[in-house]
Structure 1
């Protein structure tokens, strides 16, 4: 898979995130520097993540619970 372009996020837990709609892959760089990829993520969940008051809580409660993921750096 090609590199996913990420953008900065205003969050204490998340530094950057990006989404590839062709592969439905969400890539998240946490404030620790660790980068994770989440697979087959629905666009509605990406939108909800962007709008969430707490990005870290949303990732832990929704994204990690629903989607397969892999740590790619860190």
Structure 2
């Protein structure tokens, strides 16, 4: 999956494809969040705090380490 670099304290890059959000953290860990719609992804990427937005997403979407 193609990811783009972001400006965040703990997130290095994010990508989205086929309702899956992929997040690479600055420590190198990569997680995929499943069932994330394109509109949810767009709201996430435009949020003022990616860390806070991700905390909301991980309460409603299943995720796993890649």
Under TM normalisation by the shorter chain, which class is it? over 0.9
Listed one character per residue, the Cα deviations across residues 16-36 of structure 1 (whole Å, up to 9, x for unaligned) are 01000xx21110001121100
CA–CA distance in structure 1, aligned partners of residues 53 and 58 of structure 2: 9
Larger Rg: 1
- Structure 2 residue runs of 5 or longer lacking an equivalent are none
Aligned length: 66
Root-mean-square deviation (CA, aligned residues, Å) is: 0.9
1:11 aligned onto 2:5: no
Q: TM-score, with normalisation over the residues of structure 1?
A: 0.83
Q: Flag as ranges the 4+ runs of structure 1 deviating above 3 A.
A: none
Q: TM-score, with normalisation over the residues of structure 2?
A: 0.92
